[in-house]
Structure 1
Amino acid sequence: MNVLMLVFNSPERGTYWRAFHFGRILVAHGHRVMLLTTARRAHLRKRAFTKDGVHVIEIPDLLFGPLRSGWDAWNTLMRLDVVRRQRFDVVHGFECRPVVIYPALLAHRMGARLVLDWADWLGKGGSVEVRPWWQRSLMRPIETFYETHFRVRADGHTVINHFLEERVRALAPDAPVRLLRNGSNLPIFRMPLATARRITGLPADGELIGFLGSTYAPDARLMAEAFNVLHRRRPQTRLLLAGYFNRPIETWLDAPEAVIRTGMVSTERLGQYLSACDVCWLPLTASGTNIGRWPYKFSDYLSAGCPIIASAVGDFKEILSTLGAGEVVPSDATAFAEHTAALLDAPKRRERLSAAALQAAETHFNWDVLGLQLEDFYTWICNQSSRSDLKSKGI
């Protein structure tokens, strides 16, 4: 199959990784994959490169910084020009902002089967609600229109959680839907904790709570409150923020000196930092934003074999109960602190949770497994569509 994938993100950011990992698995199984993404800085010229067999094209955008998020008309026109020059068997649009949906619809009209992915609830009730009031008022109807209006046109849908699966089934009840979560991105290893701390230069003694990447402000405040409760009871505990963290959490902490920030580091280094942690946290407030997404860091925690404590929001209660890789707690600071303290006092239990996390990374959350599921879904859609075409022609 010749597959076109479209994301509004820049390379190595957000949903780019979801599309890229699916693409590289498809390439490994003999398919051709082109991935259109938004350039980080370029305004006029395209840039193309190949990574793990995936042909990536960075499309220029006239906007700047965070505004490069899928709305630019020039970006859209450049993508339309790329798409009109060749034929694809499948076009897979990740979210439905203009730079994704209009080129996807063109490829669809030219004969490609259209698959739409839904991995973030962006419109009314979702992440638009955490924006400043003026952005919220402006963007809510626009985000909601693009997120929902075009779903009915797709030949099939992929989703990242059960909530979005229910949403898409309500919007397009006749279309097939496949639930595909994000896979494990880091190298699968569980370096001994003492070794990881020595390599990273982290304190050999004391207790480390890990958190990876960025987060929304309400979730960061929940994490700060939970750490305040925990640190008052266990002053030897430190909070490790691995990778880029986007909130001034130190200003909300009673003991800001207990925070360790790594800043941007390599993927390998992130794995070492996570391996150095006793427990990894995933604090989420019970909001539409969190119900309608699946934080990528969850898969990274699994691949590092780190025991997880997560809020009972969305699918996490079901997933962690099934996998046995961590614990789910209410979205409450005291509950987070109490469960963490109990787990820190139970080294044998942490070992069992760590083993279960690695097992999950190697099986349920293995990109090879997920990529094959997507390949099967594409094949089924193409076969079903071919039968429909023959039937419409009376053959």
Structure 2
Amino acid sequence: MSQSNKQNLNILFLNHNSGGAATFRRCYFLGEELVKRSHSVTILTTSKNRKFRNIIKEERDLKVVEFPSLLPGRLRNGVCPWDGLKRLIYLCGKKYDVVHAFDSRPTVLLPAIWCKYFKKIPLVMDWADWWGRGGTISERSSKLYNMTFGHIETFLEERSRGMADQSTVISTLLGERLEKLGYNKENITLLLQGSDIKNIQPQDMFLCRKQIAMDDKHFIVGHLGTLFNQDADLFFESVSKAGKTIKNIKIFLIGRHKLDMGKYRKFQDIIIESGEVKDEMLSEYLGACNILTIPFKASLANHGRWPSKLNDYMSAGRPVISTRVGDIERIFREKGIGLLSEDDPDSFSQAIVKLSLDSEICGEFGLKIRRFAENEISWEKMTDIVENVYNK
């Protein structure tokens, strides 16, 4: 990637998520750090609701261009031909030193191919989710989608990787999958999700509860964001079992969990839902919890990804329990920053009870995990890795 050996780079990020969600945050935080280092960054993404016109938002040398999409619902993100065409039109006459494509949906791949083969710009591809072949698509999508478009998604996910000059992966397992597809190991770089240590800070638990009107007597077991059904089953059963030992135990679902709560009526007495949480209040909601959790079943999708919620937990400096999945198991074991559990209700409930009985180890885990976020997995540290990739 000799073209990128310049002091100041003009970088293009390609993303398919609408509404500033999911992988867009990965792009945005990396972009913020890169512009601090005198690079220019443009992020192409999808508008949450526009159908015809682009929206351009600029802050210093970070530019976000949101493109319209004509398709409804989940199809809006990544597959709309109108979105892809508008991106190509936008790129006409523009020059970049390096292109970083985040994932492999059509609206990302189309401009990536254009820039790589027609404009001769070095291409980096990021892989942040095990999607096909038994991965996330099998857990989030319908059987009809799996049998039709799912095969196309898998084809694009795998076949597109070979055109990248360099690759970043969010998990060790995805790096291994990339190698098995014939990609050169020397060109693969592990790039975990970064932690927002500036906007999410450790807080006093009781002050947080006062701010969000939560009872001080509860023992709060928190979870942030989306839950797959199988993970929710594990989580709710575990907390219910722990409740036989811990008085006033509650599950706190923070943000949008996307569950059909009608399926979990038997747990309704122990569940508290926050609803939508503004970014500026996230520290308080996380800080109100006694412990935070990654209750993942040991599925292929969970082994192959890195949950961004964990970075928020780390920034908040709260004790964390996680099942033994992916890179989390290795990091927790090597760094001693959290408590590991098997992916069954008996083991997970025992882990909850263990932390409930030991405030000293909870405090130690909280300090260690915050320190890890600051020193090893902040967005600044992740940007160091990205710059090294661009300069190879």
TM-score range, shorter chain: over 0.9
**C-alpha distance in 2, partners of 1:222/1:358?**
26
| 1:390 aligned residue | none
- The structural deviation recorded for 1:250 is 6.4
| 1:208-236 per-position Cα deviation (integer Å, ceiling 9, x unaligned) | 10100112111111111112212233241
Q: Partner of 2:130 in structure 1?
A: 121
Contact 2:13 2:42 (C-alpha < 8 Å) held by counterparts: yes
Establish whether residue 272 from structure 1 lines up as the match of residue 281 from structure 2. Answer: no
Name which of 350, 374, 386 aligns with 1:362.
Answer: 374
- Deviation string, structure 1 residues 110-130 (Cα, Å, up to 9, x no partner): 021100000001111211222
Distance 1:287 1:5, change over 3 A: same
Higher mean C-alpha deviation, range 143-152 or range 252-261: 252-261
Give the count of matched residue pairs: 380
2:190 corresponds to = 179
Does the CA-based 8 Å contact 2:239-2:352 persist in structure 1? no
Corresponding residue number in structure 2 for 1:303: 315
In the alignment, what sits opposite 2:26? 18
Partner secondary structure for residue 232 of structure 1: coil
Q: Which residue of 2 aligns with 1:384?
A: none
Relative to structure 1, the CA distance from residue 250 to residue 232 in structure 2 (aligned partners, 3 Å threshold; closer, same or farther) is farther
Report the identity percentage. Answer: 31
Q: Secondary structure at the match of 1:228?
A: helix
2:85 equivalent to 1:77: yes
Q: State the Cα distance separating 1:249 from its structure 2 match.
A: 4.1
Partner of 2:3: none
* Contact map agreement 2:203 2:287 (CA 8 A) in 1: yes
TM-score (norm 2): 0.94
Deviates more, 1:199-208 or 1:22-31: 199-208
Stretch of structure 1 that moved more, 120-129 or 335-344: 120-129
Alignment of 1:250-261 (within 5 A): 251-252=263-264, 254-261=266-273
Q: 1:213-252 counterparts in 2 under 5 A? A: 213-249=225-261, 251-252=263-264
User: Compared with structure 1, are the counterparts of its residues 52 and 352 closer, same or farther at alpha carbon in structure 2 (3 Å cutoff)?
Assistant: farther
Which stretches in structure 1 are left out of the alignment for 5+ residues? 381-395
- Evaluate the alpha carbon distance shift between residue 328 and residue 51 of structure 1 in structure 2; reply closer, same or farther with a 3 A threshold: farther
Task: Provide Cα deviations, 1:249-308, integer angstroms capped at 9, x if missing partner.
Answer: 464253412211111121121111111111101111111111121111010000000111
Task: Give the Cα separation in 1 of the matches to 2:281 and 2:238.
Answer: 26
What is the alpha-carbon distance in structure 1 between the residues aligned to residue 58 and residue 272 of structure 2? 36
Q: CA, structure 1 residues 232+255, in 2 after alignment: closer, same or farther (shift >3 Å)?
A: farther
Offset, 1:312? 0.5
Query: 1:151 aligned to 2:161?
Result: yes
Deviation at 1:355, TM superposition (A): 0.2
Q: Within 5 Å, give how 1:374-393 maps onto structure 2.
A: 374-380=386-392
Are 1:140 and 2:139 an aligned pair?
no
C-alpha separation in 2, matches of 1:297 and 1:234: 25
TM-score (norm 1): 0.93
Q: Is 1:221–1:249's contact at 8 Å kept on the other side of the alignment?
A: no
Q: Which moved more, 1:103-112 or 1:89-98?
A: 103-112
Q: What residue is the counterpart of 1:66 in the other structure?
A: 74
